[in-house]
Amino acid sequence: MMRIPPAAAIGLFFTGLYFFIAIFAPFIAPYGMTEIVGDVWEPSSGKFWLGTDSIGRDLLTRMIYGGRTTTFIATAATIISFSTGAILGFTAAVIGGWVDQLPSRFIDLLIDRKST
What is the C-alpha separation between 112 and 110, in angstroms, rounded? 5
Cβ atoms of residues 48 and 41 within 8 Å: no
The mean pLDDT value for 80-108 works out to: 93
What is the share, in percent, of the chain residues with pLDDT greater than 70? 97
Q: Domain boundaries in the chain?
A: 6-112
What is the C-alpha separation between 91 and 104, in angstroms, rounded? 12
In sequence order, which residues have a C-beta less than 8 Å from that of residue 34 and are 6 or more positions away? 57
Is 12's pLDDT higher than 80?
yes
Q: What is the pLDDT of residues 13-53, one digit of tens each?
A: 999 999 999 999 999 999 999 999 999 999 999 999 999 99
What's the mean per-residue pLDDT of the chain? 93
